[in-house]
Every structure is written in structure tokens, then in C-alpha cells.
Amino acid sequence: MGQETGSVSNESASSLLENIPFDLVVASMSNAVVVVDRDGTIVYVNPAYTRIMDLGSEEVIGRNLRDVTPDARTLKVLKTRQAITWDSFYSEKLGLDLVLSANPIVRDGEMVGVVTVFLNSKELMELYGAYRRAHGLANYYQGLLLREHVHAGSFANVIGASTALTQVIGMARRVAETDATVLITGESGVGKDVLAQAIRRASHRRDKAFIAVNCAAIPDSLLESELFGFSSGAFTGAARGGKVGKFELAEGGTIFLDEVGDMSASMQSKLLRVLQDKEIEKVGGTRVTKVDVRVIAATNCKLELMVKESKFREDLFYRLNVFPLHLPPLRERKEDIPVLALHFLAQFCEAYKRKLIMAPEAIELLQRSDWPGNIRQLRNSIERAVILCDSDVVLPEHFVDLNAAAQPAPDMNEQGSLKGEIKKIERKLYEDALSSSGGNKSLAMKKVGVSRRTFYKRLHELDLL
């Protein structure tokens, strides 16, 4: 068969390479190239090198490299005979961040020179920035698609794709179709209220009232009248005509009793009667009223332990615990963090009229954190980062609270201020990065995880330049 159009045979390629001069190949490269002999004398430079050095080739050919760039890494290769692969450094002479690769030229087992290829790291940073933006956008859209795919419909607001969360949602979908009482447990901030609303939206009561009551936020002396209402003249100052309670307001719908574990013993007994008999009695009243209400309760308390300690009624616990759902803390389902982070980022970008993406290293920082405040803390942290972000990319440096958490607690005296302490923590972060990088600003910049512009701006503001 004949050779396909556009293909090149091995023989043709070899012939082509033999006829192309070395100078022409290297001169065509956008990367700078310099070749020195075993004594360090420059024997060849390409046009890109002369542009970076701002010198003509006739000014450098024949000169010793030590006289042209005293801080050249090539001199180290001449001395050690060990190659340097893509090392980044700051050239004081040029005032540039550079990246280079220097390799010995060996002939008959002896080193006869060194060839060095390097470029302005600004070009690499621009390329990396483009990659990071593309990667961030990919993560963003992947997160949105993943969320819609996993928890569509009534549970779309329950963000996450972890196995643990998916199992909880699967059970929640099943119980949503019934009128069974649900008890949602989990630490503060895991989203118990969000799950409760999702269950209601998936139920046949979706078009009826959803009444939420935080039992811990209402004084015990008022909680009974809030839940069950009161009759006219029930107590001094009672409104004429009385008041309708939350259970009556939720008639035909759903009542969500949050922090139910904080109820007093007397309130526990009264709630038990409602669950048993499906009827309420207003404060100061003598008539009972039947109610048709679906009850979803939630708590961050360990109710089983409270029952053993006689702090929570056992019969009420079993009435509430008909269908238990446990939401694990965020630290136990860290695979949900990227999706949650991108979801909140989109929310706050819309709220603050910003167009931001999140760098991969920022998401990695979020996943390394333990989040004792769970989703609520993550949401607040991202809102703060959006406000602090001074570019189009949210970076690790914008999560000041997470960076501060990794440092020892500051000793706040009477003259201290939060702003001042944060500046001290940030200064230490930059000092540590510079110290561990041997003063190499390019490496320190990578360790801090910020853009070049932001890095030097911070160095100036922190008096480190």
C-alpha cells in the first residue's frame, strides 16, 4: 500500500534533521539557551538569551559566565558535574524570577561543557494561572453537575456526594413518603434543618405549612405557649383572644422541632402527650384540640446517653426515634467539601456581584481542615474569602481563619487588636516560607500559594522587602 498523504518516513525525517543546522534549531526556541565550555567560557547563546540578558551576542560570546551572571546555577553544574532540572530562583542582577535546566555535556566520558536552558518564570506563572483558572472552572461545573446528578429534585439543597451522605438521603427519601416521626441527629452546623426541609418538600404535605421552632432559643417559661398557644386571660398580660400555637399553625403540614434535647422535663411530658394523642391543650385552656401534624425533630445531643442519665424521658425518646437519621460531621465526609465549597462560592459571587473561581490548592486547604463548626463554618469561611479576594482567583491566603488556626494562639494584651494579631500571623507565614526556601522568593511564593503580584504586595506591606 502507498504511504498516506502527510506522513513522513523515517528516512525523510533523518535526512531533514541532518540538513538543519544546530544553530537554526536552537535560535528558533523561545526558551533562552547558553552553552559554556569546561572553564565556564560562553561559546554559544541563542537570541532568546540575549533578549533576557539585554545584551548582544557579541558582548557575551567569549566571556566567562561568572562575569555575566555571577549567580548562575550553571557554575554549580561545572563544579559538581550534577545536572540541575528546572530549578527556580531569583536573579538579583536581572531582577527576574527564572527557571532553568542545566546539563553537563559529556564526550568520551569527560565533561566538556554545560548547556543551560532557562526562561522568565513570569511566562510560567501566566501559563500556570491560565491552567489554574481552567482547572477551577472545571471543578466548579463538575461540582454543579455532580450535585444535580446525585441529589436532584426535593433534595437538591442537600449538597454533597459522599457515600455517607448519599445513604442518609436514600433513607430520607423513603421516610418522606410517610407520616412517620423523624429524629435527625448530628453536630451543630451539619445541616439538620436543610435535611428536614428536604423531607417536607418530598412529602405529600409539601404544599402545607412548614413551621420551625428552635426549642433551645425560647425560654422554658414561654416555650409551652409558643408550641400550644394560650387562651384569653391565661396569664397577666396575655393578649385578648389568646394566641394560636405553632402546632395549630402547622395543621396539615410539618413542624420541625430543632434542639429538642434542650427541652425541660415538664415540656418533655407535654410534648409526649401531643405525639401520643395527636391533640394539644392551650395554656390556660380547658379544651383539647386535635392536630394533624407531621413531626420532624433534631438535636445535637446524645439522647440515648441522656436517657441513661435520666435527663431525657425514655418514652419520649422512643416516640421521637421512630425513624432516626444521623448526619455525619464534615470531617468524616471530606469528599463533600469541594462540592459544598463551589456551591457557596457561586452563592456569594452572585450576592456580591463577583466573578471568582477557586484555585485547586485552596480546595486542598479546605479539605485538610477539620471544620468543628461543620457546614456552617465552611460557609462563613468562604464568604469571608470572597470578601478578602483581591483578584479573580480565591487562593489559600484568602482563608485567613484557616491559616490562623494552624498558628499558636496569639497572646492578646490590652493594647492588642485583632487586625494587628492577624498581621503578625500573616508575617510569620511569609517569614517561614522565605526561611524554608533559603530566601528564594519564587519557592516561597509557591509555598504560600499566592500570585506574584500579591506576594510582593504582601512582602511590602509586611515590611519584608
pLDDT digits (tens, 9 = 90+) for 239-279: 565 788 999 999 999 999 999 999 999 999 999 999 999 99
CB 232 within 8 A of CB 242: yes
Q: 423-440 in b/e burial notation, b at 16+ Cβ within 10 A?
A: eebbbebbeebbeebeeb
Tell me the three cell numbers of residue 268. 418533655
Higher pLDDT residue, 156 or 122? 156
Cα separation, 199 vs 197, whole angstroms: 5
The domain segmentation of the chain, as residue ranges, is 12-121, 163-331, 338-461
Distance, CA of 93 to chain centre:
39
| DSSP assignment letter at 355 | -
pLDDT tens digits, 189-233: 999 999 999 999 999 999 999 999 999 888 888 899 999 988 765
- How confident is the model at residue 30, as a pLDDT? 67
For residue 214, the cross-strand partners are 258
Q: Model-level pTM?
A: 0.58
Can you list the alpha helix ranges (DSSP code H) found in 6-55?
A: 10-18, 22-27, 47-53
Q: Is the pLDDT of residue 11 over 80?
A: no
DSSP helix/strand/coil, 30: coil
Confidence of residue 149 (pLDDT cuts 50, 70, 90): very low
Which of the residue ranges 15-24, 364-373, 380-389 would you say has the lowest mean pLDDT? 15-24
Cα separation, 353 vs 462, whole angstroms: 30
CA distances for 43 relative to 9, 57, 100, 118, angstroms: 35, 10, 18, 17
Domain made up of 12-121: CATH architecture = 2-Layer Sandwich (3.30)
Q: Which residue, among 322, 226, 254, 247, has the nearest Cα to 290 in the 3D structure? A: 247
If 0-12 CB within 10 Å is exposed, 13-18 middle and 19+ buried, where does residue 149 land?
Answer: exposed
Highest mean pLDDT among 294-298, 364-368, 436-440: 294-298
- How confident is the model at residue 1, as a pLDDT? 45
Which of the residue ranges 62-71, 294-303, 322-331 would you say has the lowest mean pLDDT? 62-71
CB 42 within 8 A of CB 61: yes
- Calculate the dihedral angle through the C-alpha atoms of 268, 270, 272, 273, rounding to the nearest 10 degrees: 170
Q: Which residue, among 294, 201, 203, 202, has the nearest Cα to 247 in the 3D structure? A: 294
DSSP string of 173-241? Answer: HHHHTS---EEEE--TTS-HHHHHHHHHHTSTTTTS-EEEEETTTS-HHHHHHHHHEE-TTSSTTPPTT
* Residue 180 dihedral angles phi and psi, to the nearest 5°: -65, 145
- How confident is the model at residue 285, as a pLDDT? 74
Domain made up of 338-461: CATH architecture = Orthogonal Bundle (1.10)
Evaluated on CA atoms 154, 155, 156, 158, the torsion sign reads: positive
pLDDT tens digits, 417-427: 555 656 676 77
C-alpha angle with apex 320: 316 to 322, nearest 5 degrees? 125
Q: Which residue, among 206, 234, 211, 212, has the nearest Cα to 222 in the 3D structure? A: 234
Q: Are β-strands 294-299 and 254-258 bridged in parallel, bridged antiparallel, or unpaired? A: parallel
**Are 12-121 and 338-461 equal in CATH topology?**
no
Mean per-residue pLDDT of the chain: 81
- How confident is the model at residue 17, as a pLDDT? 47
Which of the residue ranges 71-85, 100-114, 307-321, 344-358 would you say has the lowest mean pLDDT? 71-85
Q: Is the pLDDT of residue 369 over 80?
A: yes
| DSSP assignment letter at 158 | S
If 0-12 CB within 10 Å is exposed, 13-18 middle and 19+ buried, where does residue 93 land?
Answer: exposed
Cα separation, 240 vs 144, whole angstroms: 52
Q: Is the pLDDT of residue 106 over 50?
A: yes
Q: Are β-strands 110-120 and 96-107 bridged in parallel, bridged antiparallel, or unpaired? A: antiparallel
Cα separation, 348 vs 362, whole angstroms: 16
Assigned CATH topology for domain 163-331: Rossmann fold (3.40.50)
Cα separation, 39 vs 409, whole angstroms: 55
Q: Is the pLDDT of residue 145 over 70?
A: no
Q: Is the pLDDT of residue 8 over 90?
A: no
Cα separation, 366 vs 398, whole angstroms: 11
Can you list the alpha helix ranges (DSSP code H) found in 278-313?
A: 303-308
| DSSP assignment letter at 253 | S
Q: Is the pLDDT of residue 412 over 50?
A: no
